[in-house]
Amino acid sequence: MSLFVRALNPAVRRTAVRLANRGYASETTTTAAASGGKLIVNFALPHQTVLKNHEVHQVDMAAVSGDLGVLSDHVPTIEQLKPGVLDIIGEGGASTKYFVSGGFAIMNPNSVLNINAVEAFKLEDLDAQSVASNLAESQRLLTNAKDEAAKEAAAIEVELYESIQAALAGKSK
């Protein structure tokens, strides 16, 4: 039992523990029946809704806690996304890959996955030469930074461009 749950009053604690006790997706039958075995994805950016109530087979993402694949009836979770590839795999196996700079993915008990990203672009729309030149410039800025704030900003840029470069090369970073 988590420290947080131990701080709840006893009546609320019993409910919280009961709700938190979920098994693996293959072990749950009540949610499978409720979701119809479908994973519904909502994918939004601050300025655009990319997908809304879109049925898919699987979503693979780069999370701070590690790479994650989500199918219908996945255990509810909240994941912080790191810069990397978001792969949305349709029912027929067709895959659409996006590079996301970060955000959050929230898997709900009803097999609805909400993804909120700060920025996202289709992987096919990114230019490898532009990424390489911007990475070189960011590395130069990092090397020549005069203060900590400039070093931190340049280090973030380097991490981002290295992640994009790895995504374009088909490797996860």
pLDDT of residue 91: 86
Give the phi and the psi of residue 14 in degrees, each rounded to 5: -60, -40
Side-chain-side CA neighbours of 40 within 13 Å: the count stands at 11
Taking the model in full, what pTM does it have? Answer: 0.76
Residue 29's identity, in one-letter code, is T
pLDDT of residue 100: 95
Q: pLDDT category, 33, cuts 50, 70, 90?
A: very low
**Total number of residues shown for the chain:** 173
The 10 Å Cβ neighbour count of residue 144 is 10
pLDDT of residue 37: 78
Whether 90 and 44 have beta carbons less than 8 Å apart is answered as: no
What are the pLDDT digits (tens) for 103-141? Answer: 999 999 999 999 999 999 999 999 999 999 999 999 999
DSSP category for residue 75 = P
